[in-house]
Amino acid sequence: MPVRTLPSSPSTPSLSAPSSSPPSPSQLDVAADLLVLLRDTTTEPRPDPRLEALTLAVAADLPVLLWGEPGIGKTAALTQLAVELDLPLTTVIASVHEPSDFSGLPVVGDDPAEQGVPMAPPDWAVRLVKAGRGLLFLDELSTAPPAVQAALLRLVLERRVGALRLPAGVRIVAAANPRSSAADGWELSAPLANRFVHLQWAHDHEVVVRGLGGTWPRATLPRLDPERLADAVDFARRAVGGLLSGRPALVHRLPSGEARRGGAWPSPRSWEMTQSLVAFATAAGSSREVLSMLVRGTVGDGPGLELLACVDRMDLPDPELLLADPSGAELPERGDLRQAALDGVVEAVRARPDKARWDAAWALLVRALETGAPDLIVVPASTLASLRREDWDVPTSIERLSGVVTLSHRADRAAAGTAETAARRKAGRR
């Protein structure tokens, strides 16, 4: 006899066993997993002059101000720097704070006439003091009104917030947008601007592409050579002192325009910062590009370029050492430095004319011809030839140089003739 199955009723509970499968995750949980994967990035060592300049200034314990358009990656660079240096990051948006948030809030005690009114610091300053170290990031500095900028002066220079002094392990980095692209932007006041190392921040196409692929450059503190510290300090002092002794007008030069006052300009304070940066860059063996960013970002483009030229001259080999061993002399690779080294040798011979020194200078010019561009020897060779005394025999090495000098003179005469012909034709058309 077949068994009949009764139809199920909506009110009849199911007799099947309960399901053991876990509940499916919510869409927000899945979205969170996706965000974790997107944020999972790595770092790699990669040469980056801007990042190296930033880490050098941070190592030198100097306040740094990053200038760049919105969305260029200034905040991301600081966040990554704090992670790599293992420093807790404290971000303060300068434009949304009151002056009292940096100078301190007055707190009236039991007996103000006897105890005074202390200035209580904000909570972020207290956290930094308790941690004893950290990276204080002052963002949107160019949108802070003048009253807030004035309150920041003591924080940036003296590291004081209210009655608290930030510990030595705290570094200060700020970021700003140019006034043209800042929301209700202000020009930086001259006193505040003169307290910073100004670095122009821009994106590198290859870094961005590789970073979006999951790998960003690693920010590491520079490796300072312990054996070079004393020499680095001596080199920095001689470089800055040598420039300012010959150019006293550069010691303090306040720009006339408001916009230029909000950038890097020379003062005794900024020259002291520059001297520290030159010492750090020298001890770290940094490239000239990095050194250029640092010094121009501290005293401005003009004085910074003059200092770089002074540093280049300090790196030139001693002319007397070159004359002592011309066959083994090491000449600079850069054309302008090599030209300056050869000119220095010729001037050394002019100062102490001697047949042996004159011959050694010709041997050095032959080595310069063998190891570099031939056009660099034309002027030194012509000048050296004019120093010959009547009783000095012409060295055989001159034969190897005569072709280059003659060819150069012919080219000069041809160029002069061409210019003269062109001038005549122009005058004839008139």
Predicted local distance difference test score (pLDDT) of residue 412: 39
Strand partners of residue 137: 91, 173
Predicted local distance difference test score (pLDDT) of residue 190: 92
Interatomic CA distance for residues 70 and 143, integer angstroms = 12
The upper half-sphere exposure of residue 91, i.e. CA atoms within 13 Å in the direction of its Cβ, equals: 11
Predicted local distance difference test score (pLDDT) of residue 406: 52
Predicted local distance difference test score (pLDDT) of residue 20: 61
Backbone angles phi, psi at 149, to 5 degrees: -60, -40
217 and 207 Cβ atoms separated by less than 8 Å: yes
End-to-end CA distance of the chain: 129
Amino acid at 413: R
pTM summary value: 0.73
- Tens-of-pLDDT digits for all 430 residues of the chain? 454 544 544 554 555 555 566 667 788 989 999 999 988 888 888 888 898 999 999 999 999 999 988 878 788 888 888 888 889 999 999 888 888 888 877 776 666 666 666 777 888 899 999 999 999 999 888 888 888 888 899 899 889 888 889 999 999 999 988 866 655 667 888 999 999 999 998 878 888 888 888 888 887 778 899 999 999 999 999 999 989 988 899 999 999 887 888 899 999 999 999 999 999 999 999 999 999 999 999 999 999 999 998 888 887 888 888 999 888 888 888 887 888 888 889 999 999 998 899 889 888 988 888 888 877 888 888 888 888 888 888 777 777 776 655 533 443 343 444 445 555 555 555 5
Predicted local distance difference test score (pLDDT) of residue 18: 56
Tokens coding 89: 């990051």
Interatomic CA distance for residues 213 and 202, integer angstroms = 19
Q: Which residue, among 190, 87, 78, 81, has the nearest Cα to 140 in the 3D structure?
A: 78
194 and 265 Cβ atoms separated by less than 8 Å: yes
